[in-house]
A and B are shown apart, each in its own frame.
Chain A
Amino acid sequence: MPDDSESTSADLKLPLLDQLEEGPWPSFVKDLKQQASRRPQVAQLLQQLEESYENRWDYWRGTVLNVSGYGGGVIARYSDLGEKYPDVAQFHTIRLIEPSAFVYNTESLRQLADASEEFGAGILQLHGMTGDILLLGFDNEKMFAAAEALMEQGWDIGGSGNGMRTIPCCVGPARCEMSCYDTLKLTSFLTKRFIGELHRPEFPYKYKFKLSGCANDCANAMTRSDMPVIGTWRDDIQVDEQAVADFVDRHGEEWVNENVTSRCPTRCIHLHGRKIEIDNHNCVRCMHCINVMHAALAPGNDRGVTLLIGGKRTVRSGEMVSTMLVPFMEMKTDADREALADLVERIWEFWGEHGHDHERVGEFIDRVGLGTFLDGVGIEPDPQMVLNPRSNPYIKFEEYTAPRLEGEPQKAANVLPREPEVTEIPFGGD
């Protein structure tokens, strides 16, 4: 696109943004300034941002635009300073579903870059918080043209609004020996199975998955998604005794004790001379010893996933970390994946029925109680349903509780109505 800008990036007066170029790390300001020398639109974007910083005010108003038949995927941004900066009066973002584990070929990257250059501001964000591809800087008209062109090439619109969001996963078995299940396959399965829920925002609020092949990614998955699916195993850690001995010879017993055994969260791994002994019953599958001694130790052979629920920063309850939902599920066959999908549907149905507006599933569980939630989705309580290992479970097991006090209720009141609510919406047609 020819540059007809009157102001070049060199003319821009951006004292506050300039500070973000300082330091050794990459700077989006530096990148946008380069782009501004070719695009007047990007120069105006920077000017509006500088004004925002100066006045501590956000000048964007947002909504979603419906690509025909879709409910989400286009995040519309309208500028309150549209008269002053007409090239960013409409500056929309298109979200696309990314390839599983972010693996691209050069052809597909070229397609994204071309669409962004031709229709948008030439700015790509790889990747957004939920993992999707973001193309920035479209006006109303070009946004629809770009979406059409991208869909012709086989891309599909990503999630937004109160629906299932685009599913991110780690690289899993494609490139990582730690992986306990096929993260890529499950991502593709769930995306296809729930494409309707992804394109049509119909839940009380958004619902995010994060698929991690092992517990190395657990903090990410547990704090940044509603449903982390984390790879694990239920048999014993695999030990190559010769490799353990070689490792101890190389590093010394003291080093191994200082860096491996003493850092095990449950103190269930011990070094005896050149031999490792693991009390697998007490191992919480945190991955630490395996990460350090990866040639000598490996996850067990009976692998699957741990399913958690309810993480993410939420509107009412603040930061939430997910809690255990299913300690172990096999995840090898299509039948295993179907079983997960069925459970997810039950959760959506129950939360959809009883959840409040803008109530993430974690907040919902907080409000109604884990017992009621488990009842509603048809899962048996399990002592492993805890927020932190070795902490109190939510579930009260009668056989372990102290004798009742006189007058103590036999059962906690159910906060949900027993019967489904009847709609109050006037019904027109008969």
Chain B
Amino acid sequence: MGDISVDQLAEDCYAIVAENAGQKKVKAGDLQKAMAAKYGDQIGRADVKAAIKQLMDSGRTVYGYFGGSSIELPHKEAAENQ
């Protein structure tokens, strides 16, 4: 990996997830492609994986379930009741 840190990738990924919230389900593969398009050979798949892991561990994003596992902002699923 070149000068692109996992923190930077995590911020980029988060921006995509936030921008698409409520409009399009963003999947890990989408983030991989977007990061590859932006940074090319400077990063590898493992780096993007590490960035997603960081987002999940910090609770800034969660995995959604419907329509295939997607990466989403924390929310309440429609199915949930109290």
Contact = CB atoms under 8 A, between A and B. Distances in A.
Interface of A: 61-64, 66, 68-72, 76, 78-79, 82, 89-90, 140, 161-163, 196, 200-205, 349, 352-353, 357-358, 420-423, 425-429
Interface residues of B, number: 38
Given A82-B81, A162-B69, A349-B45, 7 more contacts: A61-B79, A63-B79, A200-B53, A201-B63, A425-B34, A427-B37, A427-B38
Given A428-B16, A429-B15, A200 B68 contact: no
Interface in B12-65: 12, 15-16, 18-20, 24, 26-30, 32-34, 36-38, 45, 49, 52-53, 56-57, 59, 62-63, 65
Contacts of A423: 30, 33-34, 37
A161 B68 CA distance: 8
Nearest to B26: A425
B63 A64 contact: yes
Top 6 A-B pairs, shortest CB-CB distance: A202-B28, A71-B63, A201-B69, A428-B15, A162-B69, A429-B15
B77 interface: yes
Contacts of A90: 81
B27 A202 contact: yes
B37 A422 contact: yes
Contacts of A78: 79-81
Given A78-B81, A421-B33, A63 B15 contact: no
A358 B59 contact: no
Contacts of B37: 422-423, 427
A68 B36 CA distance: 28
Nearest to B33: A423
B45 to A, nearest CB: 7
B65 A425 contact: no
Interface of B: 11-12, 15-16, 18-20, 24, 26-30, 32-34, 36-38, 45, 49, 52-53, 56-57, 59, 62-63, 65-69, 77, 79-82
A72 B33 contact: no
> Which label, helix, strand, loop or mixed, suits the secondary structure of the A interface?
loop
A429 B12 contact: yes
Contacts of B63: 64, 66, 71-72, 161, 200-201
21 contacts: A61-B79, A63-B79, A64-B63, A66-B56, A69-B59, A70-B56, A71-B63, A78-B81, A140-B80, A200-B63, A202-B69, A349-B45, A352-B29, A353-B29, A421-B33, A423-B30, A425-B16, A425-B26, A426-B16, A428-B16, A428-B18
A349 B67 CA distance: 20
B49 A426 contact: no
A54 B57 CA distance: 44
B59 A89 contact: no
Most buried by A among B20, B37, B65: B65
Contacts of B59: 68-69
B15 to A, nearest CB: 4
A375 to B, nearest CB: 20
A353 B30 CA distance: 9
Nearest to B18: A428
Given A72-B63, A196-B53, A422-B37, A62 B69 contact: no
B23 to A, nearest CB: 9
Contacts of A349: 45
A34 to B, nearest CB: 28
